[in-house]
Every structure is written in structure tokens, then in C-alpha cells.
Structure 1
């Protein structure tokens, strides 16, 4: 593997299918299953069951073509808008949405969700409910003040962002700037859910080594406070798996609400 030069997700892109296979697949020996699949689904299921995060519109602004973290949400939001930076990730996601031949199989994630939620009898309908809730998949440009220009999105009740900030930020200023852009997409009192890796410098997809922004829990908390969020829940899970696929130290889950 040539790791001499790190690529950047939103500039260079990556093989979206390999990314899913490396980090989110149903392989019995999947290295980071506890962190990338179980941890997000467990925490989202718990936070939504509390009943205070719900509404009409959720926006998903995440990296790659994952959908597993959206499975717990479709019971609590009527509509989901998915924003993606790269065309390849959009195509991969639409292949699953349209049930096309060769679509990535998310059956293992659906089973995890219903088992964690205690609704094993609903497995057959779980993925179809999510597909029905996804209203549009829209390409966005993170460099623009209105990321979906010329489309103006309605204010959302909730934004979920999984691993995007880790993959696109160069420094702390970037992280705070993107948080401000997310805040502008939310209604007053709206919720933001972040999933990310702590103390990471790189991750790999196939033969490519990609840049990742390194930060810790304290910084994430301070950044959210600086842009007008109050944290409602924060969970950190230390990494146990051994692998050179990525060098993160822990996974973080944060749920917060906008106060200004």
C-alpha cells in the first residue's frame, strides 16, 4: 500500500464500495464492527427512544454511502434529505435506494437495529421504511455558504453528520466553520448529532491513505458551545481493535441542540 501521500475525501474522493467493505460490511472478521456499526446504532436507538429528538425533516450530511445510522431515525422523522459531496457516493447510495442489482447489502445493519431496539419481528420492513423516508439525495459543495446552491433547503429539525468533519477538516478553524454552516440549516432548538473518530490522523480505503483531522473530546465540546449548541448527550468508546486501516483512538457520539 502506498501511503506516502494522503488524499482528502472531498477533494480526491475514494472508492465508495471499498470504504463500505472495509468499515461497515457483514464480514465475520470486520475489524471495527463494534465501533462503526454497533456503537452508532446503539446510541441513536437510545437517544431517539427518549422522545425529544423528532420532527418533520432530518438532514444527513455524512461521509461515504452509509445508511446504518439512519435506520433508527425513520420512525421519528417524516422526511430525510441526504447531502453528499462526491458523485460516486451518490451513485452507490442510489443503487441501494432503488434496489438495483449489485447494491451493497445492509441486511446485517438492519438486523442489528431491530435486535438492539427489541423489534426483531420488524426486520423485513426496516430497510423499506428508511427508503420511503429518504425524499432526495442532493449533491452539496462544502466551500459554498449555501452548500446546496442554488437549492435552498427548508430548516431542519435535526442534522446527523457521521465522520464527515473528521474527513474534510484541516484544522480547528475548519471544524468550527463547518459546524456554523450546519447550524444555519437547523431550526431554532433543532438537534445536531455527530459521530466521529477521536485522535485520528489517517484512514485507508483500498490502496489509498486519506487525511483525517485529529481532535479530542474537549475540543468537540468547546467547538459546539462556541457556535451555539448545548450538548444533551456525549458518549466515547475507546478503540480495542488492532489494525493499520486507521489510527483513531476512540469513537465519539454527541447529541446537541441549537440555542442561538
Structure 2
């Protein structure tokens, strides 16, 4: 695997639809359901139902074009801003948000939402509620200190970053810089939620293999502490599938509040 050149997510062309089909679809042969669908949805439902995360504005700062992780957040946050570093990913989310022809279907997440919230009779409205909460879908530039330049965004009460730091960071120093940029989107006292893949070096989308930064749980805990975060909740799950599309060992979920 190391002999195959790896592309960079935010520089080279990332096939957003292939990413959805490979890792997040409802197909019977899609092997990542436990790790990429159920695990983040279960943990997001848990932390949002506990009541310690609240506010009005959430910024989502995640890889690809997925939205299923935001269902539980829409129970709390009236306003959401989705930030993407790839125009194809932005277009994919806009296609779903606007009910356009060819939009990726998220109906396979219905059962998970019903099981988690016990509201099967209201599940049909959850997608509408989520769409109503999403006010802006913004394509950003990682090279800018203000990621949304030239827009100036209000500070958020909560920021979710799913796997994005893993693919845009070349090394530990780069991860710290990117984590700080995510932190700068957040109010003091606000919450940062990270979902990541541990001990990963690559992921596949379409015909391409993309770089992923290899790190472990102790590294991300230390990184958060150095930037003034206190971890409120952490869950780690050993990989539940066999596939050569991506080489992670565990999935990790962390919710932390910003003290300074």
C-alpha cells in the first residue's frame, strides 16, 4: 500500500458520490455500517440527549458529503452551517438539501433514528427538520486563517468535525494547526465533537487512494488539552469490518468543551 502514491483530500479531486456509496450507503454489501453509520449516530444521540451541549448555532466541519450525523443535532440547534473544502462535496449536499434529481438517498438511516429516539411516527419529519436547520453550505479554503474567507461567521456553540482533520493534516504539527482553526470557530464554553479513525494511513474513493494521518487516542487527547479543551465524553470502538478500502484500527468519538 505504501508504494501507491496518495492524493490529498483538499487539493486533489475527491469523488464525493463514490465516498457515499462505498462507506455510507444502505446496500447489503456495504460493510462500514457499524463504524460509520451506527457508531457516530449512537454517540451523537447520547451526548445531545444528556443536555450538556446546547445553543443555537452549530458548524459542521466534516469530510465528504454526509449528513446523517446531524439528525440528533437538529433536535437542539436551530441554525447550522456546513463547511466543505471540496466543491463537489458542497454540490452533493446542496443537491440533497434542495431535493434535486439524483440526490443521494438517506432513507436507510431511518431505522437507526427510530431505534435511537423511539419516535418512528416522527422520523419522516426529521429530514425536513434537519434541512430547515441548515442555513448555509459554504465551500472554504484551508489556506486561509479564516476558513470561510471572505465570509465572517459568528462563533458557534458547537462544532462537529468528522474525519476531516485526518485527511487534511499531513503530520502531527499540521493536525494541531488545523485543530486550532476548528477551535477558532467556537465560543468559549462551546463544544467540539470529533469523530476520527485511529491508526489510519489511507482511504479509497473512486479510483484514488487518499492520504490519512496516522495517530492514536493519546495523541488526540493531548492535542485537545494543549488547545484548552476538557474532554467530557470519549468512546472508542474496535474496527467491525474487513475491507482494504481503508486501513484504520478503531473509530473514536470525543466531545470536549473549550475552556480557553
**1:53 and 2:53 equivalent?**
yes
Provide runs of 4+ in structure 1 moved above 3 Å: none
Cα contact 1:234–1:253 (8 A) shared by 2 = yes
- For residues 135-154 of structure 1, the aligned pairs below 5 Å read 135-154=135-154
- Structure 1 position 111, deviation (Å): 3.0
Cα contact 1:61–1:159 (8 A) shared by 2 = yes
**1:198 and 2:198 equivalent?**
yes
Between the aligned partners of 2:158 and 2:13, the Cα distance in structure 1 is 26
Q: What TM-score results when the alignment is normalised by the length of structure 1? A: 0.97
Q: Which runs of 5+ in 2 are unaligned?
A: none
Question: What do you get for the CA RMSD once the two structures are aligned?
Answer: 1.3
1:251 aligns with 251
Between the aligned partners of 1:89 and 1:110, the Cα distance in structure 2 is 22
Q: Which runs of 5+ in 1 are unaligned?
A: none
- Structure 1 position 93, deviation (Å): 0.5
| Cα distance per residue 1:135-188 (max 9 Å; x no partner) | 000111111110111111001000000010111101111111111111111111
Aligned residues: 260
2:42 aligns with 42
- Structure 1 position 118, deviation (Å): 1.4
Q: What TM-score results when the alignment is normalised by the length of structure 2? A: 0.97
- For residues 1-260 of structure 1, the aligned pairs below 5 Å read 4-260=4-260
Cα contact 1:110–1:126 (8 A) shared by 2 = no
- Structure 1 position 13, deviation (Å): 2.6
Between the aligned partners of 1:64 and 1:39, the Cα distance in structure 2 is 17
Cα contact 1:71–1:110 (8 A) shared by 2 = no
Cα contact 1:68–1:110 (8 A) shared by 2 = no
